[in-house]
Amino acid sequence: MAQGGPFLPCLAFLLCISALQAIDKAPNVQVYSRHPVEIGKENTLHCYVERFHPPKIDITLMKDGVPIEDVQKSDLSFKPDWTFELLVHTKIIPDGKSEYACKVNHSSLTSPKIVKWDQVH
């Protein structure tokens, strides 16, 4: 039997996995509505966050700087490059005055990333 036996390939594999986990990738954030904006008509606001690593992330939808409590989240999933993606969404009724945004906290960021929703109508 060669020196190191079967443990050497296992050790190499674990080192590769550890190296992958050590790479932080900042998230891409997109904020958009499901339907075109119509003032006074219910819509769904989405915050899609992708290409981040590690998977631990905090995503908050906000209205006028205040967190929205009633939100839905997709299951965390990963892409072929082993980065992750997550969708957070909620029902809203645009009034043309309120400001909506998505706030993302992640270990790759030095401060929270806030992306405002552009209500083009």
Per-residue model confidence as pLDDT tens for the chain (121 residues):
455 555 555 444 444 454 445 589 999 999 999 999 999 999 999 999 999 999 999 999 999 999 999 999 999 998 999 999 999 999 999 998 999 999 999 999 999 999 999 887 5
**Pair type for strands 57-63 and 66-67:** antiparallel
Which numeric CATH code is attached to 25-116?
A: 2.60.40.10
User: pLDDT at position 23, please?
Assistant: 85
If we measure between CA atoms, which residue out of 58, 60, 51 comes closest to residue 24? 51
pTM: 0.79
Contacts (Cβ under 8 Å, ≥6 apart) of 84: 50, 51, 52, 53, 55, 57, 76, 77, 78
> What pLDDT does 14 receive?
43
